[in-house]
Amino acid sequence: MSDEVPRPELVIAIDFGMTCTGVAYCNIATGEERPRCINKWPGRGGAVVEKVPTVLVYPKNSMTPSSWGFLSEHPTEQISEDKELKEWFKTYLDEERLQMALRDPSNRGICPASIQEVERLYCDFFRCLYQTIQKKLQGELANRWEDANIEFIFSVPTTWKPVPTVERFRSTIQRAGFGCYPSHRVDIGLTEAEAAAVHTAREFPRLFKERDVLLVCDVGGGTTDLSVLRVTNTVGGSLNLEQMDVVQGATIGSVQLDTAFETSVRQRLDYANQIMPIGFQPQELDDIAWKMAKGKEYQNAKCEYGSSDDDTEYFYVAVPGLTPNYVNVNAGIRNGEMMFRRDEIRSYFDAQVSKLYELLDRQLTRLHQKFPEEQVPHLVLSGGLGNSAYVYKRLRDRYAFGNAPFPNARSLQVKVAPEPQMVVCKGIVADRVQKLKTGKSVLGWRCSRASYGTLAKVLYNPKDPEHFGRTPVRDSFDGKLYILECISWFIKQGEPVSIDHPIVKKFTRKCPPASPFNLDPPRVFETDIVTSDLDKELLPLVMNAACHKICDISSDLSSVPLSEFKLKNRHWWNRRAKYHRIEYIIKVALAPADIRFELWHNGRKLSKDNPIKVEWFAAEPPPEVVPQIQYNSWGEPAVNLPNY
Looking at this protein, which amino acid is placed at residue 307? Answer: S
- The one-letter amino acid code at 434 reads Q
**Exposure letters 367-383 (e unless 16+ CB within 10 A, then b):** bbeebeeeebbbbbbbb
**pLDDT over 60 at 356, yes or no:** yes
* pLDDT of 616: 39
pLDDT at res. 644: 27
Model confidence at 311: pLDDT above 80:
no
**What pLDDT digit, counting tens, does each position of 602-629 carry?**
888 876 544 433 343 344 444 443 333 3
237: confidence class by pLDDT, cuts 50, 70, 90: low
pLDDT exceeds 60 at position 83? yes
Torsion of CA 374, 380, 383, 388, to 10 degrees: 130
CB-based contacts of 359, cutoff 8 Å, min separation 6: 217, 224, 226, 248, 250, 252
pLDDT tens-digit readout, 464-515: 888 887 888 888 777 788 888 888 888 888 677 777 778 888 888 888 888 8
Query: How confident is the model at residue 401, as a pLDDT?
Result: 87
Q: Mean of the pLDDT values across residues 370-380?
A: 92
Residue 640, sorted as left (phi over 0), alpha (psi -120 to 50) or beta, turns out to be left
Are the CB atoms for 523 and 557 separated by under 8 Å? yes
Give the confidence band of 108 by pLDDT, cuts at 50, 70, 90.
Answer: low
The alpha carbon of 574 is separated from its chain's Cα centroid by a whole number of angstroms, namely: 56
DSSP 94-130: SHHHHHHHHTSGGGTTTS-SSHHHHHHHHHHHHHHHH
pLDDT of 459: 85
- The CATH architecture that domain 10-201 belongs to is 2-Layer Sandwich (3.30)
Question: What's the farthest any 2 CA atoms get from each other in the chain?
Answer: 109
| DSSP line for 332-393 | TEETTEEEEETHHHHHHHHHHHHHHHHHHHHHHHHHHHH-TT----EEEEESTGGG-HHHHH
Nearest to 636 by CA among 468, 485, 504, 520: 485
Confirm if 395 and 379 have CB atoms less than 8 A apart. yes
DSSP single-letter state for residue 542? B
The lowest-confidence range among 149-158, 195-204, 328-337, 627-636 is: 627-636
Q: Which amino acid is at 120?
A: R
Residue 640 has pLDDT above 60, yes or no: no
Cβ(338)–Cβ(320) under 8 Å?
no
Question: What's the pLDDT score for residue 186?
Answer: 93
Using alpha carbons, select from 537, 532, 531, 554 the residue that is nearest to residue 608.
Answer: 554
**Exposure string for 538-573, b = 16+ CB within 10 A, e = fewer:** ebbbebeeebeebbbbebebeebebeebeebeeeee
| C-alpha neighbours within 13 Å on the C-beta side of residue 414 | 24
**Does 643 have pLDDT greater than 70?**
no
pLDDT digits (tens, 9 = 90+) for 110-122: 789 899 999 999 9
Q: What is the pLDDT of residue 200?
A: 83
What's the CA gap between 254 and 638, in Å, rounded? Answer: 52
Backbone torsions φ then ψ of 275, nearest 5 degrees: -75, -45
In this prediction, residues 366-387 reach a mean pLDDT of 90
- Domain layout of the chain by residue ranges: 10-201, 254-349, 450-605
From 217, 220, 224, select the one nearest 200 (Cα to Cα). Answer: 217
Q: Provide the mean pLDDT of the chain.
A: 84
H helix count then E strand count, the chain? 11, 33
List of residues 6+ apart from 389 with CB closer than 8 A = 304, 305, 306, 307, 310
Digit-coded pLDDT (tens) for 552-591: 777 888 888 888 888 888 887 877 888 888 888 888 876 6
- More confident position, 541 or 349: 349
With cut-offs at 50, 70 and 90, classify the pLDDT of residue 243: confident
| Exposure b/e, 612-640, CB count within 10 A at least 16 = b | bbbbbbbbbbeeeeeeebeeeebbbbbee
Dihedral over Cα of 386, 11, 43, 115: its sign: negative
Q: What is the pLDDT of residue 631?
A: 36
Q: What is the average per-residue pLDDT within 533-558?
A: 84
Cα–Cα distances (Å) from 292 to 263, 264, 318, in that order, read: 11, 11, 7
Average pLDDT over residues 541-556: 83
Least confident of 85-94, 264-273, 527-536: 527-536
Q: Which of 79-83, 221-225, 515-519 is predicted with the least confidence, judged by mean pLDDT?
A: 79-83
pLDDT at 4: 59
In DSSP terms, 52 is beta-bridged to: 21
What is the Cα–Cα distance from 70 to 349, expressed in whole angstroms?
Answer: 27
| Residue 144 in this model has a pLDDT that exceeds 70 | yes
Q: Predicted confidence band at 594 (pLDDT cuts at 50, 70, 90)?
A: low
- What value does the mean pLDDT take over residues 515-523? 84
Confidence (pLDDT) at 627: 36
CA distance 103 to 355: 23
Mean pLDDT of 37-44: 93
The share of the chain scoring above pLDDT 70, in percent, equals: 90
Report pLDDT for 593: 61
Return the pLDDT at 549. 82
Residues 6 or more apart whose Cβ sits within 8 Å of residue 607: 555, 556, 597, 598, 599
Residue pair 626/528 in contact by the 8 Å Cβ criterion? no
pTM: 0.77
pLDDT at 447 over 70: no
Convert the pLDDT of each residue in 269-302 to its tens digit: 999 999 999 888 888 898 899 889 988 899 999 9
